[in-house]
Amino acid sequence: MTDPTTYLSHLELGEPDKTFLDSNELIINMGPQHPATHGVLRVILKLDGEKVLGTECVIGYLHRGVEKIAENRTYTMFNPYVDRMDYVAAVSNGLGYCEAVEKLLNIQAPPRANYIRVILTELNRMASHQLWLGTHALDIGAMTPLFYTFRDREEILKIFEKYCGARLTTHAFRIGGCQYETYEGFERDVKKFLDFVPPRIDEYEELLTTNRIWLERTRNVGKISAADCKALGVTGPVLRASGVKWDIRKAQPYAAYPEFQFEIPTGANGDTYDRYMVRMQEMRQSLRIIRQAVEGIPEGPIMAKVPKVMKPPVGEVYHSIEAPKGELGYFVVSDGSTQPYRVRVRPPSFVNLQALDVMVRGQLVADVIAVIGTLDIVLGEVDR
């Protein structure tokens, strides 16, 4: 492998602090095999003692060439592949892809399908945030939340399993709607979950929100301003925690979202604690959306009229959704054949990870762990 120092050649590093002992700069590798990098992420750190002078991410260990695969599959055949990018929020990935192709085909999913889509996507957002909370807290040193969140996330995965047979890479939606009608007792299960989970969220909050160690480890750690977020293209809860009230579900609504009432939680400081608070409130907002959807779910078909052989007209389209991590976009080009000419995935994790350097410079090395956790990246999506 290449000498790590060559990676940092472009960084304009500040002078190390002069102490009476004269400190030394140290270059160390964090990862790719490191439990706190949430996958195979390698971060090269330039340190002055405990202080981070600069970082460089080395990514691509999980690169599978998803965009190339797309060009060699039909539109339908590529659908399950998108689940393998952000594998903890597979339903969101599928929704973005299906809607992008539907736009290209100029068809719309029927209302009932849209409601099912919203229910499952919001459940998945909830599951993704729970997984994030458990692992993030574990990284920082709180072990209990992990067991609580995994216990409760199980209930969501059970609903997915009953609905489509899979727990993680669900392939829940099809281009044009949903393949499966809701199972007998789906609404009862979802409502039961809605009653079951709010006290559990209170429980997570009891463990962390006013916990002194948690506050010390997250407040004023990894701060990023709204202007920096916009310049770096950072989206999702990270952007909202910096005080920008922007959510694609509200700004450019899709599926059945215009029909539901919900708030966009925002933070003020843009630090790790605010991002924690934003995600906690997002979970409660998701429950609100699910409740409205499950109570108002209309009857009717779940699949639009879709040709058996899909040949979208020549053209290109960009469609994005608010995935749990931020803006997930699909840019699809059709040449009129059965296979997409080009599929570009705009992954939120990849773009958000770029902000790591800005967020940790000048902070302590222990905070790098906290910041990687708070960015909520999934390496399957970063590397695609």
Partner 1 sequence: MAEEPKSPTPPSGEPKPPAGQPIPGSVQSTPAQKPAEKAPEKAAAATKPAGPTPVPWESPLVAKLKAQYGSGVREANTYLGQNYLVLEPSITNEVLQILRDEEEFDYCVDVTAAHYPKREKQFDLIWILYSFARNQRLRVKTMLADGESFPSSVAIWPTTNWLEREVFDMFGIKFDGHPDLKRILLPEGWKGYPLRKDYGIIQQDEEWVKTNLGIESGQ
For residues 167, 353, 65, 165, the Cα torsion angle rounded to the nearest 10 degrees is 10
Count CA atoms within 13 Å of residue 269 on its CB side: 13
What is the DSSP secondary-structure string of 179-192? SSPPPTTHHHHHHH
Of residues 342, 364, 365, 366, which one binds partner 1 by CB under 8 A?
Answer: 342
- The two structure tokens encoding residue 6: 């060559």
130 lines the binding site for partner 1 (CB under 8 A): no
Residues 286 and 193 sit within 8 Å (Cβ to Cβ) = no
What is the footprint of partner 1 within residues 250-279 (CB under 8 A)? 251-252
Say whether residue 104 binds partner 1 (CB under 8 A).
Answer: yes
CB closer to partner 1 out of 4 and 49: 4
Q: What's the CA gap between 123 and 117, in Å, rounded?
A: 10
Nearer to partner 1, 70 or 119 (CB): 70
Q: Using CB under 8 A, pick the residue from 278, 317, 368, 371 that binds partner 1.
A: 317
Q: In whole angstroms, what is the distance from residue 11 CA to residue 149 CA?
A: 39
Contacts (CB under 8 A) with partner 1, residues 352-371? 354
Residue that the structure tokens 């916990």 belong to: 211
- Say whether residue 339 binds partner 1 (CB under 8 A): yes
Least gap, CB of 141 to partner 1 (angstroms)? 31
> Whole-angstrom Cα distance, residue 294 to residue 112?
11
CA-to-CA distance for 223 and 328, rounded, in angstroms? 23
Q: Is 180 in the site for partner 1 (CB under 8 A)?
A: no
Cβ distance to partner 1 smaller for residue 85 or 159: 85
User: Which residue in 17, 26, 33, 63 binds partner 1 (CB under 8 A)?
Assistant: 63
Cα angle for residues 226, 232, 233 (degrees, 5° grid): 85
> What type of residue sits at position 209?
T
Quick check: 2 binds partner 1 (CB under 8 A)? yes
Of 113 and 328, nearer to partner 1 (C-beta) is 328
CB of 342 within 8 A of CB of 116? no
Contact predicate 276/265, CB 8 Å? no
Q: What is the DSSP letter of 297?
A: P
Residues β-bridged to residue 55:
45
Q: Please state the closest distance from residue 70 (CB atom) to partner 1, in A.
A: 10
- Per CB under 8 A, the list member of 127, 244, 290, 293 interacting with partner 1 is 244
Decide: is 329 part of the binding site for partner 1 (CB under 8 A). yes
Q: Does 33 bind partner 1 (CB under 8 A)?
A: no
Task: List binders of partner 1 among 204-233 (CB under 8 A).
Answer: 230-233
Q: Which of residues 67-96 bind partner 1 (CB under 8 A)?
A: 67-69, 71-72
In terms of Cα–Cα distance, which of 130, 100, 95, 101 is closest to 115?
95
List 48, 83, 327, 381, residue binding partner 1 (CB under 8 A)? 327
Please report where in the chains the tokens 């290209």 appear, as a residue: 104
**Using rule CB under 8 A, residue 187 touches partner 1:** no
**Footprint of partner 1 (CB under 8 A):** 2, 10, 59-60, 63, 65, 67-69, 71-72, 103-104, 106, 230-234, 244, 246, 251-252, 313-318, 320, 327, 329, 331, 333-339, 341-342, 344, 346, 350-351, 354, 383-384
